Amino acid sequence: MSEFFRKENINVYVIEHTTEKPTKLYRGDKWGINPEDKLNKDYLFFTPKMDQAKQYGIVSEFETTKPLRVVALDDITEDFFNFAPEDVQNHLVSNYGYNTEEKIRNSTETGDFAVSQYICEQGYDGYAIDTMATDSDGKFHQEIVICNPSVNVKFVDKVKDEENEKKMEKKEAEERANPQGKNRLARSVNGDFSGVSRSLFDSPPSTPRGGAKRLSKMKKTKGKSKRRTKRRRQ
């Protein structure tokens, strides 16, 4: 996550892709879910590392089908914020820490979904964040949202991991037995904040699953675009 690419004065990460070397993306889904069925959504959540996807369920691997330019929501520009409608602006502040002393990632379904939908409607390929702080002094993992996933990514295969499969099967059985505990925030072994309940990622978006060869593969290029094109709309 080094340099910035500027589009309409918007900071954008570039997810690289070549025919010989597409970028790998990962996501976790509940037991029994066919990951290919998720591709008909308006957008999906991914994460660039396989281990980060495990917390959400059975891990599947995807690949990009072309280079993608996704809005850098860990470095939101004033232009991007000012152009957004008021409700989206509120979510950019509350969920992504825009214009706050500490950029805090606070993931909620309502806010994450609204921002994702808005970004896709503007014609961007999605959004991405690097690791961000949380208000519980933890860390929110790297996250990628891909718009129009049926076109921009393709399913490769489920990742074979018997230990994780057994763990997820047991966890889902516990959730069925205790529905009230289903939406607890998940925390990683080292105590860092690792995300919200898997249900967040099973809908239009399916949170972190993104796997690129790390977000380091997402290059940012500095500088303002000399020409400002009008925003594309779907």
Domain extents for the chain? 5-219
The token pair that represents 215 in the structure block: 């977000």
pLDDT beyond 90 at 13: yes
Q: What mean pLDDT is predicted for residues 171-181?
A: 67
pLDDT digits (tens, 9 = 90+) for 120-173: 999 999 999 999 999 888 899 999 999 999 999 999 988 876 666 666 666 666
Local confidence band at 7 (pLDDT 50, 70, 90 cut-offs): low
Give the model confidence (pLDDT) of 103-113 as tens digits: 999 999 999 99
Q: Are 210 and 144 in contact (CB under 8 A)?
A: yes
Q: What average pLDDT does the segment 90-94 reach?
A: 96
Closest CA to 82 of 99, 102, 95: 99
- What is the SS3 assignment for 188? coil
Q: Provide, rounded to the nearest whole percent, the portion of the chain with pLDDT above 90.
A: 50
State the burial class of residue 117 (Cβ atoms within 10 Å of its Cβ: 0-12, 13-18, 19+): middle
The dihedral of CA 51, 111, 84, 93: what is its sign?
Answer: negative
What is the predicted pLDDT for the residue at 35?
83
- pLDDT, averaged across the chain: 76
What is the mean predicted confidence (pLDDT) over 9-33? 90
Sequence-ordered list of residues with C-beta below 8 angstroms from that of 98, at least 6 positions apart, any chain:
76, 81, 89, 92
User: Going by DSSP bridges, is the β-strand pair 58-64/5-7 parallel, antiparallel, or unpaired?
Assistant: unpaired
Instruction: Of 87-91, 160-164, 187-191, 202-206, give the lowest mean pLDDT range.
Output: 187-191
148 φψ region: left (φ > 0), alpha (ψ -120 to 50), beta (else): left
213 vs 151, more confident: 151
Query: Phi/psi at 156 (nearest 5 deg)?
Result: -105, -60
pLDDT for 22 equals: 96
Separation CA 149–CA 203 (nearest Å): 13
pLDDT at 62 over 60: yes
Asked if residue 180 has pLDDT above 70, the reply is no
Strand extents, DSSP E, the chain = 5-7, 10-15, 24-29, 43-46, 58-64, 68-72, 126-129, 132-133, 139-140, 143-147, 153-158, 186-187, 193-195, 218-219
- The model's confidence at residue 176, banded by pLDDT at 50, 70 and 90, is low
Structure tokens at 209: 């699953």
pTM score of the predicted model? 0.71
**Inter-residue contact 42 to 117 (CB < 8 Å):** yes
Between CA 148 and CA 126 the distance in angstroms is 9
- Helix (H) or strand (E) holding 98, with range, is none
What's the pLDDT at 36? 87
Examine the pLDDT at 192 and tell me if it is beyond 80: no
